Structure formats: C-alpha cells, structure tokens
Structure 1
C-alpha cells in the first residue's frame, strides 16, 4: 500500500493504493476543543465518499498513519456500499417495481380504467396507480402521479411529526415554517431564519428516521453549525440518533432513486 496526494486550493484530498485500487479520501480539519482527546475519525458514506475528520493542526503523517491502519476496513466498507448500489436502478414506473412508505415496501401496480379519474392509493400491500388511458406517456404520467402522492403524504406526515416533536425542542419559540422540497443529497435543511426544508423522499423512511431529520434541523435553530454543543443538544432529545441516522443512511440510495 502506498499513498499519493493532491492538495489544490482549500480542498485537502489524498489517495492510497490498496491491492490494485486507488482509494481517494478527503480530509476535513476542525478546531480541537481544549481538554478533549485528539482523534482522527474516518467515515465511509453510502455514496462511497471517504471523509477523514482531523484536528486542524494534525500532521499529514499522523493522518496518513490513521488511514493506513484502517485501510482494509475502508476498502471493505466501499465494497459493501458498491455492491448495494448495483441493485439501485432508476425507476421505470411500471407494475412490479418496489416503492416505500414509512419504512414499508409496497409493490407498484399500474392499471387502466377509462371511467376513473387518474389517482394513486394504497391497497393491500400495493401502491395502486389508476390511469384512464394507457398511451406513450404512461410512464411519465405514472411518475408524476406517484411523485405528487409522495409530496402530499409528506406534507401531512411532516406536519404531524413536527407538532409531536416541538414540545421536546424547548429552545424553539412558536411554530417554525417549513416547505417540502425535493433534494438529491439532503434530507433537510434549516435557514438562518429558522425555516425548515424537508425532502419529500423522507416520507419513505420509518417515522424514527423522519423524527431524526426534523430534530436535527430544529437543533440548527439554536446552533447553526455542527459544533459539540449542537451534537449534545441533539443527543438530549434523541439519545439513539446515531443508530437512527445509520439506518437512514443505509437505505438512502433506495429511498432517493427515481
């Protein structure tokens, strides 16, 4: 195993060779809180990004040694995520495809009924889409109907969960505004004014995962960063957030595929 580097501008990116593969990773440097143990943390994300969090004054050699010690683990984690991604394909919106809602799987069924109004409903383990006419736009119409159904459900479920969680978020005054907005890489965000944006695809996940994202964004109203204080605040309202986040991350590619 060897290591090569490429540091352009502020992006600190390196790679190492494991077997016959070059593995690239990004180093994110953070201030080191006084009195806390110095550590270098390595995270492999489901999208196959490898991020190394290190103290801002950490030596390059120390970072390299930490990565090399976990090179096999990094390689194995990447292989597992890549194997999983092989089964994630873009949806074609045809009968038989798998859809998700609140953590449960549903089989998509598309039927034609010329006397009916186009609609979507859940029925005995199926997501039933009714079109009043099959034509060359069948898949596009199905996709539009399914997307609209998810957005409508998301609006309702997110309102319910936000109302249920607000009593725990004692630092929030009033009811924050939120909107449902499709995003490709984020489950949610919080503006500097305290308004939330939530991804409609999140409604495909279990309620615990929805609660995690909402609480995460509510914590940003008090701490608009990912400081130690932020994580302590989140842990106070959801002690098992790491487990829930891991569950959501593990299904992200399936939930976000369209």
Structure 2
C-alpha cells in the first residue's frame, strides 16, 4: 500500500503541576504520523483523531498536510481515503509550496504556533488565572491578565512549553532505551539551543533543544535515538550509523522532517 503507517502514541494525560504560580495543564494529545508516497516523494501527514464523523484533508502553507479522522476510523479506511485523494493532494501540495512564505509563530489571539510538527491556532483571552490549555482540535487557549502584554504571553507559553518538552523527552528517552535495549542516560535535560538539536556528554548526560517540541513526532524520536546511540558509540563512525540504523532503518526519512 502507498501509505506506510508510522503511529507514535505519546502521553495523552500528563500530570499537572504549578510553576511559579502558573497553572500547567496536561496537553500532549495522541498523534499519528503517516508517510504517504506521493509521486516518489515521502510526504508526512499528521493525523488528528476527533469526535467528527467524516474524514477531511487540509494542506497548510509550506505544504504541511493534516488529515482529521473519526476516533473509530480504521487504518484501511484511512489508507483508502488518502489514496483516493492522491491527484488533488499533489496539486494542493505543489500550489502551497509555490506560494509559501516562511512562517513564524504568532502568540496573539488569532495567531498560530508550531507544536509536534503541526501549526495550531492560538486563542488569547483576559482572565485572573494564567493558564495554557491545548485542545487537540481547536489549538491553544491562553488566559492572561492583560491580553495585550505580548512579552508576558510569550514567557507564559515558553515556560509551559518547556515543562511539556521536559516530560515528553524524558518519557520518550526511557521508552526508546528500553525498546531498543540501549544504555540509559544519567540524566535528560532541556534547554534552548541555537545550532543543534541536542548533545550527549561523556558522562552520559543528554541535553535536548526545547525547540524540538515543534517538530514531528517521528523526527523527535530520531533525535532522541541518535543521542542514545552516542552512549554506545561516541563518534559518528560507521559503527555508530550501523547501530542507529539497526533499530531505526528509516532514520533518513525522519531526519529529513527536521526543519
């Protein structure tokens, strides 16, 4: 079949906590990732499950493709639907790439931010409590005292996003380490980086760029597995790449998603 299933279920309910008076709300949904062979190109498609009764396909600026499906939709039904949209999808992707401009996050009411590889709408309202809530279908809902205080909105969101990234990356590091039989790191941390997605120290400490939370799930798994491989092979020798590919043979496709 033209569609290669790549479904990666992340934490759907993370325990809430407070950080400096800010309410941190569980917000990482179940997300599915498919690679669709479109004219010889591996096209990533983000699958969002909801209570809707029909399937819909959207192509966003930059040719990011989203498919919304009912919660009960089976894989064969989804594959058949995508295959039937092949001609339309090819034209839509080509058009969006032609007119696309670099997209930047806008933390304002009516703006959007990238989260797990998908651009999500931002809704900002005034309120006494400072909160960030992510709805799987409708995007982010931010509550702040002054909805015109853009720097404060950015700090609120970035603080929330870092907390989510820390828990998500630590969870995935443990899961991949156990699944692939790799050594566990001494620690897993998150920080802002400008030139790389992560690092691994000689003592076994892994640091991951907080911006990785913006990338598709399959790409996140690649970066984390790459760092875990360095606990066995410290360089980028042939042995390193062979070890990495043995457990993740599609690593090149995953790496290509980073951007």
Q: TM-score, normalised by structure 2?
A: 0.57
Bigger shift: residues 174-183 or 227-236: 174-183
> 8 Å contact 2:106–2:112 — kept in the other structure?
no
Bigger shift: residues 161-170 or 235-244: 161-170
Gapped regions of structure 1 (runs ≥ 5): 1-82, 253-258
Distance 1:159 1:218, change over 3 A: same
Distance 1:226 1:241 in 2: 14
How far apart are residue 128 of structure 1 and its match?
1.1
1:133 paired residue among 143, 146, 169: 146
1:193 paired residue among 200, 203, 214: 203
Report the secondary structure of 1:87's partner residue: coil
- What's the counterpart of residue 52 of structure 1? none
Distance 1:90 1:203 in 2: 15
Report the secondary structure of 1:88's partner residue: coil
- What's the counterpart of residue 67 of structure 2? none
Gapped regions of structure 2 (runs ≥ 5): 1-96
Matched, 1:103 2:113: no
1:163 paired residue among 165, 174, 178: 174
- What's the counterpart of residue 66 of structure 1? none
Q: TM-score, normalised by structure 1?
A: 0.58
Matched, 1:240 2:223: no
- What's the counterpart of residue 26 of structure 2? none
2:230 paired residue among 220, 225, 232: 220
Count matched residues.
Answer: 163
Counterparts of residues 72-151 of structure 1 (less than 5 Å): 87-88=101-102, 90-113=104-127, 116-123=128-135, 124-135=137-148, 138-151=149-162
Distance 1:221 1:91, change over 3 A: same
Distance 1:97 1:194, change over 3 A: same
Distance 1:178 1:247, change over 3 A: same
Distance 2:215 2:240 in 1: 24
> 8 Å contact 2:147–2:153 — kept in the other structure?
no
> 8 Å contact 1:181–1:198 — kept in the other structure?
yes
How far apart are residue 90 of structure 1 and its match?
4.8
How far apart are residue 92 of structure 1 and its match?
4.5
| Bigger Rg, which one | 1
How far apart are residue 133 of structure 1 and its match?
2.4
Q: Which has the higher strand share?
A: 2
